[in-house]
Amino acid sequence: MIRKRSIKKIAQIPIGVLLTIPLAASSILPAQAQSVNTRPGPSDSWLVSEAFSPPNRGAPPATAEGGTRGCGNYEEGAKTLTPLIPEKFLALTVSEHPTFFWYVPGASEQTLEFTLLDKNDEEVIYQTTFAAPVKSGIVSLQLPSENVEALKTGEMYHWYLVTICDPNDRSGDLFVDGWIERTEATMELTAALEDAQPDEIPSIYARNGIWHEALASLAQLRQENPEDSNLAERWQQLLNSVDLGEFSEEPLVARNQSTQE
């Protein structure tokens, strides 16, 4: 959900007052995807296995409440800023520095601000700003490994993505927030990944309930093989399985150079 945030609560974000909910992050970076030469057709078991199997962790913590419209350019019926995470299940990662994905409406003169906090919203783990895409699409951001501490196993983290409507008046900022937790990769998962081909990796993560790596590894395959219709179908099935199917045909947008604050 998109929300309005007062300038005091968003601009001050080491800012301790930004929010009041925990989060958790988990994951190992998805294995390097390579060019896919062959793949079963749509009738094979690939599509069946691409559906996400949620972890037995229950619902994530509640997110903050707020507004639902854009920065003065909202059109009735248009898609709004949306995180690509399951709504009913906590998004897990096995990576020390996971990748996050959002649908972002096009806005050539707007800035996005990402902030990752500890579970108590007291410590800023990472904060960066970057330009919103000119055209609407799916934008990703990976936590950099340099100068950013690794997410701790078993810890929840709370993140925010803010649309800065007016840098001179932050009272109109809009944002989405969510939670992430880093979990320990099981021996079974580790063994499966070691023996996997690049195009098997997303399904392995999805079957094991590791959302962030399932999405990131499949997104990488799609970027490297943009004309592959079977990958497009797998992408659609993965998003459909967590009620995000309306974004399955949105393009993966290259994010502009970000500037860390």
What are the structural domains of the chain?
3-260 (2.60.40.1930)
Of the candidates 159, 168, 161, 167, the one whose C-alpha atom is nearest the C-alpha of residue 110 is 167
Quote the pLDDT of residue 108.
Answer: 66
pTM: 0.78
* pLDDT in single tens digits along all 261 residues of the chain: 444 444 334 444 444 334 333 333 333 334 433 334 444 444 344 444 578 988 877 677 777 654 445 565 556 678 999 999 999 899 999 999 999 999 999 876 789 999 999 999 999 999 999 998 889 999 999 999 998 999 999 999 999 999 998 888 888 888 999 999 999 999 999 999 998 999 999 999 999 999 999 999 999 999 999 999 999 999 999 999 999 999 999 999 975 434 444
Quote the pLDDT of residue 240.
Answer: 96
Quote the pLDDT of residue 81.
Answer: 92
Q: Distance of alpha carbon 204 from its chain centroid, rounded? A: 18
The amino acid sitting at 48 is: V
Quote the pLDDT of residue 7.
Answer: 34
- 99-104/111-118 β-pairing: unpaired
Quote the pLDDT of residue 68.
Answer: 44
Residue 207, token pair as written in the block = 């079957």
Q: Could you tell me the CA-to-CA distances from 249 to 202, 231, 233, 234, 246 in Å, in that order?
A: 18, 12, 10, 12, 7
Quote the pLDDT of residue 65.
Answer: 57
